[in-house]
Amino acid sequence: MGDRDERGPQDHENVTETSSDRNEGGLSIGAMVRVLVIEDEKDIAQVLEYNLRQEGYEVQIALRGREGLKLAQERPPDLALLDLMLPDIPGTDVCKALKGAEATRGIRVVMLTAKSEEIDRILGFELGADDYVAKPFSMRELLLRIRAVLGRVPVSGAKGESAGMSDEFGCLRIDRQAHRIWVERAEVELTALEFRLLTTMYDRRDRVQTRKTLLDDVWGIDGDIETRTVDTHMKRLREKLGHAGAYVETVRGVGYRFARSAPILDQSL
């Protein structure tokens, strides 16, 4: 625990650096966006609260896992910052409870983890967590990750599809700046992790991506760990993509590949 306490001052130093870094990428984040911080170290929780409020978020703090669950059930936030090392119950149990209940399963979850908690991080992803930030973390990086996960927050003056630059591939359209995608002109909601997985595969079209490579590059975890995380998320992504899911091909015994060109899809199925 002693080494964790030493991170507080590092985060305090980032307060003035990040408080003016607002609405990067055109996002208009208002007070309607609520963030629940579940973190047992008071100094870190206070720094998180300060910076999040500076960004325009409404913030609640819970120093225990059970307290966080109670707050989430009473008034579900848009996003939960969840420390995996809590004094009363494991953060993975909190994530499981949030994603397992009808009232809270829509809450986006960003895990705060130490490198030594890699197995818990994998479990968190398998339970439905959207992203993670490893401790000690830069406040700037954390705020950018939060904005990416909250990419579906309404943008001021935005209506329908974004007018910005986008990638089109067959019936699939990707707007990277807005973190939005459309399939056959219908918008499809992806988590931040699913969006990162899709764009990684798209950028490496016609190149086989092994599970180890995807774990390293998309999840940021040791690819040598045995896990079904990649397969589980790829299955979920394909289901959400509907007809465009056919663009992601399985290379048996190796991994996955995004098609080189868009095949003609039989949309009558």
CATH number of 167-258: 1.10.10.10
Neighbours of 252 (CB within 10 A): 5
Handedness of CA 264, 177, 133, 102 (dihedral sign): negative
The answer to whether 19 touches 51, Cβ cutoff 8 Å, is yes
For residue 78, what is the DSSP state?
S
In CATH, 8-149 is 3.40.50.2300: yes
- Report which DSSP code applies to 177: T
Q: Which amino acid is residue 27, in one-letter code?
A: L
Helix (H, G, I), strand (E, B) or coil at 218: helix
One-letter amino acid identity for 226?
E
Joined tokens for residue 62: 């819970």
Quote the CA–CA distance of 37 and 61 in Å, as a whole number. Answer: 5
DSSP 223: T
Q: Is the peptide bond before 76 cis (omega within 30 degrees of 0)?
A: no
Q: What is the pLDDT of residues 107-159, one digit of tens each?
A: 999 999 876 667 777 877 888 888 888 888 889 889 988 988 887 443 333 33
Tell me how far apart the alpha carbons of residues 115 and 119 are, in angstroms, rounded to a whole number: 9
CATH topology agreement for domains 8-149 and 167-258: no
How far apart are alpha carbons 187 and 181 in whole angstroms? Answer: 6
pLDDT tens per residue across span 219-251: 877 766 667 888 989 999 999 999 999 999 999
pLDDT, position 129: 86
- In the chain, where are the structural domains located? 8-149, 167-258
> Regarding predicted confidence, which is higher, 7 or 170?
170
